Amino acid sequence: MKAKGRFEFGTLAARPSPGSSLRAAFTLIELLVVIAIIAILAAMLLPTLAKSKEQSQGVKCLSNLKQLTLAWAMYNGDNRENFVVNGNNGDSPGGTATSPITGKDPQWCPDDMSQGAAVPGEQISLPWLEAGLIYPYVGSPGPYRCPADNSTYNRGTVFPTGGGGTNRDRSMSMNAWINPSADAYQAYSEGTGYRVYIKTSDLSAPGPANLWLLLDENPYSINDGYFLDVPSDSGWVDCPASYHNNACGMSFCDGHAQIKHWTDHTVLNCRTGQNPGSPIGTRTPDFIWFVQLTTALISQP
């Protein structure tokens, strides 16, 4: 018989009584297993979150392009269906970073996003956006910049992939064949045999649904708002962006917009600004697809 009040080792003495200070705890192995599971779940989730962010940026980019395209169309409607002027650097109004010269060389958007802008600081200057002829129809700077564009400007230096400072104002550029300014027309369009579009009735070929209007330009390539590629050239002069997972946003003259994916090595790896007349790359399927939507031969009905 057991003595009263006596406990044997391994029976009741091994069990914590209610209110006892003893608590169950993870072993080191159990803790490592939990950490490993969390790490695996995070690794599975992060690509999904990244893809969701890319999709969100793409949707916002298309919305921005549609807003700018609507503003372009509203301007046309208020100006007897004549398109807004699309100026290049040669027709820049000049002025200061905070004040472009009022009324000089009016165009859709007169600013220059490049390192070599004539007026340092116009890359981040709201008055330069506001000087654009379609800005009153847009009403805010937001639609001019793609959310996937990380480029910045800081103390006279452009950082195409970011690097401190302030976000550049504009990511979008306009098709150079749509009402180019006088300087641009004489330099790049006149006598080429390709159509220049001045008013709505000129859009018969290739048709408004097949003529791109605005796109995200490569952050290294972008300068003025005039995006030039010539169908007869051997390759790209200006390069589209590819920061939407190897794609860019594009809008068309009928108002629709799309995300265009690229496989062209030149587009995906463009790291230098190009000068008109100095094409790079080759006539890849991407390039041929693009220039077919850029203009048409004058002889084409």
Residue 66 falls inside a structural domain: yes
For the chain, list residues with pLDDT below 70.
Answer: 1-24, 26, 45-53, 273-277
Map residue 240 onto helix, strand or coil.
strand
Residue 181 falls inside a structural domain: yes
Cis peptide before 143, with omega less than 30 degrees from 0? no
Residue 32 falls inside a structural domain: no
Q: For residue 3, how far is the Cα from the chain centroid?
A: 86
Sheet strands side by side (includes 212-216)? 226-227, 172-175, 212-216, 247-252, 257-261
Q: Which of 141, 149, 113, 143 is nearest to 244 (CA)?
A: 149
Residue 33 falls inside a structural domain: no
pLDDT, position 11? 43
Q: What are phi and psi of 88, to 5 degrees?
A: -110, -175
Domain of residue 188 covers 39-292
Residue 221 falls inside a structural domain: yes
pLDDT, position 144? 98
Q: What are phi and psi of 99, to 5 degrees?
A: -160, 90
Residue 25 falls inside a structural domain: no
Q: Which of 214, 212, 218, 211 is nearest to 266 (CA)?
A: 218
Assigned token pair, 130: 């506001």
DSSP 70-131: HHHHHHHHHTTTBPPPB--GGG---EETTEEPTTSS--S-----STT-SSTTGGG-HHHHHT
Q: What are phi and psi of 200, to 5 degrees?
A: -55, -40
pLDDT, position 273? 66
Q: Which of 131, 156, 154, 163 is nearest to 144 (CA)?
A: 131
Q: Say if CB 203 and CB 211 are below 8 A apart.
A: yes
pLDDT, position 269? 92
Nearest-angstrom CA–CA distance, 205 and 209:
10
Residue 15 falls inside a structural domain: no
Residue 67 falls inside a structural domain: yes
pLDDT, position 13? 44
Residue matched to tokens 């302030």: 166
Q: For the chain, how many structural domains are there in total?
A: 1
